[in-house]
Amino acid sequence: MRALQSPASVHDVLVLDRTELAPGVVLLGFHAPQLAAVTQPGQFVMAVPPGGERAAVALGIYEAQGDRASVMFFVCGPRTREFAGLREGDRFSVSGPLGNGFTLDGAKNVAIVAGGVGIASVLLPAQALVRSHVRTRLFYGARTAELLVDRERFEREGCEVICATDDGSFGHRGFITQALAATEDKPDLILACGPSPMLRATAFVAGELGVAAQLSLEETFACGVGGCWGCVVPLDRNSAQAPGFPGQDEGGSEVVYARICKEGPVFWAHELRW
Amino acid sequence: MVTDVDLSVRIGSLELAYPTLMGSGCYGSGEEFAPFIDLSKIGGVVLKSVTRAPRLGNPTPRLVQTPAGMLNAIGLQNPGIDWYLEHDVAKFASRPCAVIGSVAGFSVDDYAYVAERLAARDEIHALELNISCPNVAAEGETFACDPRLTARVVKTVRATTDKTLIVKLSPNVTDIAGIAREAESAGADALAVINTVRGMAIDVNAWKPRLGNVTGGLSGPAIRPVAVLAVYEVARAVRIPIVGQGGIETASDALEFLLAGASAISIGTGNFTDPRIPVRIVEELHAYLAARGVRSLREIVGKANVGFANPYQYEGDEG
């Protein structure tokens, strides 16, 4: 993970475009040149719902190019519903970019595993890898073909895309991690973002393959900047990402709670103790 | 219309340039929010509570969003006072605002031990006594729920330092005014009113509590009327200043607390909605007072004109 965080600030942004990629999956593009310029793959923003008295919500940064950045999200509650209601010309504010993203240095053959709207955090690393002429495959799973949103985009960017759906409506039938486990072309690095069961399965497969994996975790955030210690995950206390103080309770545990928003959201799979 | 409005307040011997504190446990040590707000434009930061021994904190999930608020059950995760003094406290010297240490504990001795060591540091300008954390097993909130224990812990800590001592009260009591009186008599310089309201949320699909700790503390706009009433009641019971808190997001919210009797306000969960809220509140308070020809924020403290709506005047009145 990157040791230094990018310079973050608050940005008042203008909505440039809003696309419903699938039922309930919304892509929101906005004018944010400063944010786009400093965003690293795997970082996120805390976006303030335009309607008022609601806490900000963490959204992975999907695209960051030129004057435009975008976020993609699944509408699953009142806050995401507010964002889904935004239209071109509307304004909202975001704090970011936040968190420590993916570390791509040295990899030659990367497998990116994305589940559902977890795809929202893996376009930037995919682009960075392809730009560096790294063999990049996207293992992309969703419930149905319809929810494999923006699949062609990754092909256009130069990724090989392998898909799986729960109902077999596109690609392999079953879990995308099964397709990863079955690959004969062993990657030297795995990156993953998606639902927790998929991340755990990815960690397991990575262990079986003997390949290092970086997982982008999701959890309810309150502050998003490391101030409240609400979004923690148990981590090996010897990890370079372990927060800098002893985490032991009475028994002298080897585990420390790290903040997903601050030390993460990307962690090495083998260092998680979840 | 006046243009020169004095927003400064004094809490004990602590001078605040602005009446806005950032609530303990919500703001880290301030530096986490520095990219998003000018810390010289806030009154001060109340640091995350520190205990005698390191604490791992509660199991996850620790947060749940609820209507107009959130539940948290962090469990006082902190490195313990030794590590804190050695590694963290020196960094607070650079904050361009007041820095208030927060002390938590499980015995009177714990509180006194941590408070004395923390208050001895120049980087710490005042202390808040967190005797009201709802998220630690048994003892945490007991102090703030028992008038005699409140008196004992405040008196003991008072003897360890001359720095301003703010005692944070729990709303989860029958008679907050009575407890406030005990804290005042025991030597508190000010009271923070209120800590979170105990609450619980259940996942109806999984049939289990949403928080790892089962129960948590509710914060945000959902508790604002509860907090305003608590400030109002405490203000009528004590003469020391009150730091009002509970769901403040706008100057209008802040004014409710000030008019109810708070001398300053604290913002916690509001920072999660938008980190610029504290600066916006100060600007709006300034404009509000200027437009009404009020030269000092201190003039409006406790000025809510309850008139005939005062329930205490109706006591025993059959009408």
Q: Above pLDDT 70, what percent of chain B?
A: 94
Distance from CA of B134 to the nearest CA of A (A): 15
CA-based nearest distance A54→chain B, Å: 6
d(CA B88, CA B86): 6
In a domain, B212, yes or no: yes
Residues B190 and B12 sit within 8 Å (Cβ to Cβ) = yes
CATH 2.40.30.10 occupies which residues in chain A?
9-98
For residue B22, what is the domain's CATH number? 3.20.20.70
Q: Encode A176-203 in three state secondary structure.
A: HHHHHHHCCCCCCEEEEECCHHHHHHHH
Whether the CB-CB separation of B244 and B3 falls below 8 Å is answered with no
Q: Test B32 with A262 for CB contact under 8 angstroms.
A: yes
- Residue A245: is its pLDDT beyond 70? no
Q: Decide if B63 and A231 are in contact by the 8 Å CB cutoff.
A: yes
pLDDT tier at B317, thresholds 50, 70, 90: very low
Per-residue pLDDT of B244-279, as tens digits, reads 999 999 999 999 999 999 999 999 999 999 999 999
Residues paired with residue A139 on neighbouring β-strands, in sequence order: A113, A162
Q: What is the pLDDT of residues A163-190, one digit of tens each?
A: 999 999 999 999 999 999 999 999 999 9
Contact of B132 with chain A, judged by CB distance below 8 Å, is answered with no
Would B2 be classed as within a structural domain? no
Beta strand spans in A32-124 (E): 44-48, 57-65, 68-74, 91-98, 109-115
pLDDT confidence tier of residue A247, bands split at 50, 70 and 90: low
Token output for B132? 């009201």
Question: If pLDDT is split at 50, 70 and 90, which confidence band does A53 have?
Answer: low
In a domain, B119, yes or no: yes
For residues A39-63, give the mean pLDDT. Answer: 90
The verdict on B107 touching A (C-beta cutoff 8 Å) is no
Chain B residues in contact with A224 by the CB 8 A cut-off are 272
For A35, A71, B177, B183, B283, the CA distances from A25, given in Å and listed in that order, are: 23, 11, 51, 53, 38
CB-based contact B273 A56, cutoff 8 Å: yes
The C-alpha atoms of residue B46 and residue B24 are separated, in whole angstroms, by: 5
* Chain mean pLDDT for chain A: 93
Question: What tokens appear for B210 in the block?
Answer: 């949403």
Q: Is residue B319 part of a domain?
A: no
Give the residue on B whose Cα is nearest the Cα of A49: B273
Contact (CB<8Å) A249/B249: no
Q: Is the pLDDT of residue A253 over 70?
A: no
Q: Please confirm, yes or no, whether B133 is among the known catalytic residues.
A: yes
Checking if the pLDDT of B318 tops 60, the result is no
Number of helices followed by number of strands (H, E) in chain A: 6, 15
Taking an 8 Å cut-off on Cβ atoms, the answer to whether A53 and B56 are in contact is: no
- DSSP-derived 3-state class of residue A85: coil
Question: From CA A201, how far away is CA A204, in angstroms rounded?
Answer: 5
**B1: in domain:** no
Mean pLDDT for B126-150 is 84
How far apart CA B211 and CA B200 sit, in angstroms, is 8
Give Cα separations from A220 to A172, B198, B255 (angstroms).
Answer: 31, 19, 31
Note whether A228 contacts B272, CB cutoff 8 Å.
Answer: yes
Distance between CA atoms of B256 and B265, rounded to whole angstroms? 10
Measured in residues, chain A has a length of: 274
Partner A contacted by B269 (CB < 8 A): yes
Cα of A128 vs its chain's centroid, Å? 15
User: Where does the pLDDT of residue A248 fall: very low under 50, low under 70, confident under 90, or very high at 90 and above?
Assistant: low
Out of 3.10.180.10, 3.30.1360.70, 2.40.30.10, 3.40.50.720, the CATH code matching A9-98 is 2.40.30.10
* CA distance to partner chain A, nearest, from residue B288 (Å): 21
Domain count for chain B: 1
Q: Three-state DSSP class for A235?
A: strand
Residue B4 domain flag: no
- The answer to whether residue B312 scores a pLDDT higher than 70 is no
- Select from B257, B251, B272, B267 the least CA-distant residue to B302: B257
From the list B54, B77, B273, the residue facing A55 with the nearest CB is B273
Q: Looking at residue A272, what DSSP letter applies?
A: B
Between B135 and A141, whose confidence is greater?
A: A141
Residues 6+ apart with CB under 8 A from B263: B9, B11, B19, B190, B241, B242, B243, B298, B301
Question: How much of chain B, in percent, has pLDDT values that exceed 90?
Answer: 88
For residue B133, give every residue at least 6 positions away whose Cβ sits within 8 Å of its Cβ, in sequence order, or none.
B49, B76, B104, B140, B141, B195, B217
Within 10 Å of residue B313's Cβ, how many Cβ atoms? 11
Ranges in chain A annotated CATH 3.40.50.80: 109-215
Contact by Cβ (8 Å): A264, A243: no
Q: How many Å apart are CA A213 and CA A200, to the nearest integer? A: 11
| Contact with chain A for residue B79, Cβ under 8 A | yes
Place of tokens 């955090």: A121
Q: Give the 3-state DSSP-derived string for chain B, with helices as H, strands as E and coil as C.
A: CCCCCECCEEECCEEECCCEEECCCCCCCCHHHCCCCCHHHCCEEECCCECCCCECCCCCCCEEEECCEEEECCCCCECCHHHHHHHHHHHHHHCCCEEEEEECCCCHHHHHHHHHHHHCCCCCCEEEEECCCCCCCCHHHHHHHCHHHHHHHHHHHHCCCCCEEEEECCCCCCCHHHHHHHHHHCCCCEEEECCCEEECCEECCCCEECCCCCCEEEECHHHHHHHHHHHHHHHCCCCCCEEEECCCCCHHHHHHHHHHCCCEEEECCHHHHCCCHHHHHHHHHHHHHHHCCCCEHHHHCCCCCCHHHCHHHHCCCCC
Q: Is the pLDDT of residue B126 over 90?
A: yes
Q: How far apart are CA A91 and CA A49, in angstroms?
A: 10
| Cβ atoms < 10 Å from Cβ of B40 | 10
Q: Are B254 and A210 in contact (CB under 8 A)?
A: no
> Taking the mean position of all CA atoms in its chain, how far away is CA B287?
25
pLDDT over 60 at B311, yes or no:
no
* A109-215 classified as CATH 3.40.50.80: yes
pLDDT band at A250 (very low <50, low <70, confident <90, very high): very low
Per CATH, domain A217-274 is 3.40.190.10 = no
- Residue B161 belongs to some domain of the structure: yes
Residues A211-228: pLDDT tens digits? 999 999 999 899 999 999
Domain that holds residue B246: 9-314
